[in-house]
Amino acid sequence: MKISQIITGAGKPFPSLEIVPPLRGITKNQLLDSIRPFMEFNPPYINVTSHRDEIEYVPQADGSFRKVASRKRISETAVCGAIMGEFHIETVPHLICGGADAFQIDNLLNDFRFLGISNLVALRGDCLTGEKRFTPTPGGYRYASELVEAVRKFDSDAFCIGVAAYPEKHFEAANLDTDIRNLKKKVDAGADYIITQMFFDNKVFYDFVDRCRAEGIDVPVIPGLKPISTPKQIQLLPEAFSLDIPVELTREIEKHAADKAAVYQIGQEWCLEQSRDLLAHGYKSVHYYTMGKADNVVGILRELF
Ligand code: FAD
């Protein structure tokens, strides 16, 4: 079933989850066991992130460098197949422009369709490690909007397409207005819904949605949340995702930084309150970034769904 139909047809709020494919060496059963605790809450779908190959330039005896590609993780396609086979729920692979040309993207879309996948999230993808600016692959796509067009051209009806948005602006965009206008290009190209980067202040999210609506973006916007679980994350998350953590939350975590369990509890409570507020504002779906950890998200879902 397509996500757009799930959202329209939902009688009551539901959670969705995002997982990162496991590192090589993890077995299918280990992966499935890490997801199993979520099944108690009947998530209608699970998103699976996509990661481009790492590129290393290895020095050679003659002074030249040899380009070596390596892949740390199992592919999103394999993970989706495993989840669908075991839990019989929808999976939403992320599809990225980075590291692939149009031919390779076409092959991936064929594999998705073959597996019976009818949803995906179209993204530009992160830069390579050490790269300051995104470099498109020759013969590939520069922006997610071009990828959305390509997916529609591949098969106009096969996939319900989600795209990413940033309530606090994408780090490269000159300002939020420009970023929202670029978001509209993705919707105009055929995206069916939007899923946001994590945020820790719901007011920022509501203002963002108002600005999207004012720009004529009328597709559903799914809020993305992540519970903070370690003191380090108040530095790491802003660095990695270019976002703000509210002063009140930062102070609480700093105050209890030496007490791991207390920080975990504070992060979970904050996310729970954000979730409650979103549901009270009529949002039917809340998306949780699990980032490889089930416990704190399971604790939140148990209170809400
Ligand atoms: P785009 O929409 O292409 O935007 C990138 C930048 O270009 C923005 O600043 C935008 O304003 C600008 N822009 C867009 N169109 C134009 C245009 N036509 N002209 C000029 N400027 C333009 N990364 C991964 O590698 N794998 C994942 O699985 C993954 N999943 C994610 C899931 C979510 C929900 C989110 C929010 C992010 C995810 N990311 C993932 C990270 C994402 O790939 C990066 O944030 C990336 O830098 C931007 O991707 P995008 O699809 O938003 O890009």
> Which atom of ligand 1 lies closest to the CA of 179?
11
pLDDT band, residue 56 (cuts 50/70/90): confident
Tens-digit pLDDT profile for residues 26-41? 999 999 999 999 999 9
Tell me the CA end-to-end span of the chain in Å, nearest whole number: 21
For the Cβ of 167 lying below 6 angstroms from any atom of ligand 1, the answer is no
> Which atom of ligand 1 lies closest to the CA of 122?
51
Q: Whose CA is nearest to atom 24 of ligand 1?
A: 125
Tens-digit pLDDT profile for residues 277-287? 999 999 999 99
Residue 55: what pLDDT? 86
Q: What is the mean pLDDT of the chain?
A: 96
Q: Whose CA is nearest to atom 16 of ligand 1?
A: 182
Tens-digit pLDDT profile for residues 83-103? 999 999 999 999 999 999 999
What's the rounded Cα separation, in Å, for the pair 140 and 250? 41
Q: Is the pLDDT of residue 132 over 90?
A: no
What φ, ψ does residue 15 adopt, rounded to 5°? -95, 155
What's the rounded Cα separation, in Å, for the pair 145 and 185? 6
Residue 214: what pLDDT? 98
Rounded percentage of the chain residues whose pLDDT exceeds 70: 100
Distance 120 CA to ligand 1 centre (A): 14
Find the DSSP H helices in the chain: 3-9, 28-35, 76-87, 102-115, 144-154, 176-188, 202-214, 233-241, 247-255, 260-280, 295-304
Tens-digit pLDDT profile for residues 224-265? 999 999 999 999 999 999 999 999 999 999 999 999 999 999
Distance 193 CA to ligand 1 centre (A): 15
Q: Whose CA is nearest to atom 37 of ligand 1?
A: 164
What's the rounded Cα separation, in Å, for the pair 94 and 151? 12
Residue pair 82/28 in contact (Cβ under 8 Å)? The answer is yes
The average pLDDT across 208-221 equals: 98
269 counts as catalytic: no
Q: Whose CA is nearest to atom 36 of ligand 1?
A: 197
What's the rounded Cα separation, in Å, for the pair 131 and 108? 25
The average pLDDT across 160-188 equals: 98
The average pLDDT across 61-77 equals: 93
114-134: b or e for each residue (b if 16 or more CB lie within 10 Å)?
A: ebebbbbbbbbbeeeeeeeee
Q: Is the pLDDT of residue 131 over 90?
A: no
In 3D space, the residue among 294, 296, 233, 304 whose CA is nearest the CA of residue 35 turns out to be: 294
